[in-house]
Structure 1
Amino acid sequence: MCNCHDHNHDPKLTRRQALTGTVALAAAATGLAATGAKAQDNPYAEPAEPALPPSDMKIDPARVALVVTDPQNDFLSPNGVTWGVVGASVERNNTVANIESLFKAAKAAGITVAVSPHYYYPSDHGWKFEGALEKLMHKIGMFDRKGPLSLDGFDGSGADYMPEYKDDILDGQTIICSPHKVYGPETNDLVLQLRKRGIDQVILAGMSANLCTESHLRELLEQGFEVAVVSDGTAAAMLPEGDGYLAALTNFRYMANALWSTDEVVEKLG
């Protein structure tokens, strides 16, 4: 007899309960961060003496795309179900405004823009097993939609795009990919859409740093793309289990073809 976990039998948390619980987790994470600060004032700072070679990536407007993962309310709005654990990182990096600046700069430069969103439909709640974060996301109703063919209740929901981004995302030019279901783009059409436009360079931003953003980085690299990650165009949860942004930042430095700030990207696209 299968002992697989079926979350359909778990009680559903309300968004208010989720926010309350995540605030408590954030308080614990803040204590951990304060302890770590004694050893290093800014754990996110660039190393004083880097061992890895510098980037030589140069943007070609004809071949580059801005890709933004999960630019959605549940990650980036104070009303989102994850704000209690990601909010401090989002605010520290000025992530919301930086993503908006990236959209505006990309549109002004006339380069390809794509968003890779995260949606869950009722059928997705029939999964028999999940990883830790998947379990949590399903339980708190993160990114939930009524169905793939329905926008009922979508406007302003946690699955909806941040209001600051809607004009750029819904302009009829931005590629809105099919939803990815776990973390990476293997389950959506992002790579196909980019290849069909002759894109082989990506400027990558969005949420969340050590989950969907890093997973997109890894898959795009494996698919032969040249990828620059925007260091302050993302953020991540801080939990007793660890600082997601710090974990991702280490891997970005190791793997990405470039690690640029929003200001650097805007200047390069100007």
Structure 2
Amino acid sequence: MQLTAGDTALVLTDPQNDFLSPEGVTWELVGKNVEENGTVEHIEQLLIAAQQAGTPVFVSPHYYFPHDHKWEFGGTLEQKMHEIGMFDRPGPLQMQGFTGSGADWLEQYKPFLEDGKTVVCSPHKVYGPEQNDLVLQLRKRGITKVVLAGMSANLCIESHLRELLEQGFEVAVVSDATAAAQHPEMGDGYAAALTNFRYIAGAVLTTEETVQALAA
């Protein structure tokens, strides 16, 4: 897979405090892997490289509003997200309490994500982008190749990877710019994701390899 100017974009899923900050509600589950992978720093490096190369950035965020908590069923992690108030906001038209909350961007990413150029898509609701406008936004900009990074590896990243492939995009995953929950009973989400990345992605790259490819 060759990254080429004009038709390649950086797509980030959930670059938010609840996943990437020690104060986030999932840190107990994902924090060790985030630190091991250098996920926070690697995402920042990707943002710097994209800015320097003129590569467009798209964010597929995760937000839950009060009406979402009225859902009557869901999978194991989906239910857990609702229970712990992950990515909660007071409503789709309200921003009270958003700054610095678990749903907000990690502070060091704000100069890049709030630059007036980054495309912040409507929120995805479970794991994949089927319910938001990411695919529409990519197609309307003539994007055919996606560099995918963010959180979390075996949930939102893998789900975005699968759907984008089904939609006809070439997709490279940045393996050290993501992380996942590691649970003694449910298993190692990161290891599971890496296995599937190798089987189905167009390329599995490190941050260093991606930065070099975008610069070239």
Q: Which runs of 5+ in 1 are unaligned?
A: 1-56
Q: Which has the larger radius of gyration?
A: 1
Q: For 1:120-135, list aligned pairs within 5 A.
A: 120-135=64-79
Q: Percent same amino acid among aligned pairs? A: 67
> What is the rounded CA distance, in whole Å, between the counterparts of 1:81 and 1:113 in structure 2?
26
* Residue matched to 2:196: 251
**SS class of match (1:259):** strand
Q: Which runs of 5+ in 2 are unaligned?
A: none
* Residue matched to 2:45: 101
Please say if 1:203 is aligned against 2:147.
Answer: yes
**SS class of match (2:28):** helix
Number of aligned residue pairs = 214
* Residue matched to 2:119: 175
Q: TM-score, normalised by structure 2?
A: 0.98
**SS class of match (1:185):** coil
Please say if 1:68 is aligned against 2:12.
Answer: yes
- 1:107-141 Cα distance to aligned partner (Å, 9 max, x none): 11001110100000000011010111111100000
* Residue matched to 1:262: 207
Q: TM-score, normalised by structure 1?
A: 0.79
**173, 184, 187: which is aligned to 2:128?**
184
> What is the rounded CA distance, in whole Å, between the counterparts of 2:151 and 2:5 in structure 1?
24
> What is the rounded CA distance, in whole Å, between the counterparts of 2:78 and 2:167 in structure 1?
25
**SS class of match (2:9):** strand
* Residue matched to 2:169: 225
Amino acid at match of 1:193: Q
Moved over 3 A (4+): none
Alpha-carbon RMSD: 0.5
